[in-house]
Amino acid sequence: MEAAFAHSYLLLFGKLAVGGLLALSIPEFSKMELGFYRSSAAVFLLCAFAMTAGDAYLLHSRIEHDAVAVTELLLWVALSVSFALYYLSLYINFPLLRARSYTLALFIGVGALLVAAWTFAAPNLGHSARHSAIASLSMLSGAACLGAAAGGMLLGHWYLIDTGLDLDPLQRMQTFFRRALSVQVTLSATGLILLAGTGTLSLALATGDTGHLAPGHGSQQWLFAARLGSWIAALMLAWMIKRTLAIPQTMAATGLFYIAALSVCVGEILAQWIRFRTGIPF
């Protein structure tokens, strides 16, 4: 139980690594200096290392090593290696290695998150294809939101270094953040409707039993309300960032990205807690 609980929070690093890697592709490479990619990739690479090391420790602490947990760890190891190759390629003139290692790392990272989503499939929800698809898409959209918020925060700081940088990269990043957030909210709402249609949602809320923890006497409802509040805050911040860039004020937008990143991180922690307690991808 302790390992599963820790794993639910450790995944925040995994989501940041994969989402941050995706966010690096949003600004046009020709418009940015390599320094931005080197500094930003280093942050997300450290997240990948933290995820791999933490997952290895948790797997070692378990009495039984199931195939899903072992597969997930192997994928995180592969992500760290391929991500490290991409980071190395930013310091050498080898464009082919850069392109191949980036693509490989992104695909492996997506695979690792998909496998991680399976570990939260609850006995009371069953391992149905519908629930698995909803859980997987929710995991990926959460990673995209985290990467967009953190990427926008890091990109905004680059405008202090490159004062002549065009506004387009930051505008593209805020558009990516807004769309990723909208997709996540839409997917979660659709998932809840689909689960409610089969009666699975009411069962999960009534029992709160995934085999990990006992029911929380209504705490699930508070968790859902807090998760909804984090989305509202993030959507408001996305709108404020868009309006701020229209002025334009890049540093003010960067400050808003800071708050947005915090809001999304809190929301993802709540989402993982809801998955852990109920198995519902929200």
DSSP string, 88-155: HHTTTT-HHHHHHHHHHHHHHHHHHHHHHHHTT--TTT-S-HHHHHHHHHHHHHHHHHHHHHHHHHHH
pLDDT at 121: 59
Domain count, the chain: 1
Place of tokens 């490159």: 162
Residue 17 has pLDDT above 90, yes or no: yes
Is the pLDDT score of 256 beyond 50? yes
Rounded CA-CA distance 146/20 in Å is 7
Q: What's the confidence (pLDDT) of residue 8?
A: 82
Instruction: Quickly count: other Cβ atoms within 10 Å of residue 70's Cβ.
Output: 12
* Model confidence at 202: pLDDT above 70: no
The predicted pLDDT at position 170 comes to 94
Q: Average of pLDDT values for 186-215? A: 59
- Share of residues in the chain with pLDDT > 90 (%): 57
**Average pLDDT of span 183-212:** 64
Residue 211 has pLDDT above 70, yes or no: no
Residue 182 scores a pLDDT above 50: yes
CB atoms within 10 A of CB 118: 15
pLDDT at 282 over 80: no
CA distance 143 to 165: 27
Domain that holds residue 155: 2-278
- Mean pLDDT is lowest, of 57-71, 143-157, 200-214, for 200-214
d(CA 192, CA 197): 8
pLDDT given at position 188: 84
Predicted confidence at residue 163, as pLDDT, reads 84
pLDDT digits (tens, 9 = 90+) for 75-116: 999 999 999 999 999 999 888 999 999 999 999 999 999 998
Q: Which helix (H) or strand (E) holds 33?
A: none
Specify the residue for token string 């940088």. Answer: 165
Report the chain's mean pLDDT, rounded to a whole number: 85
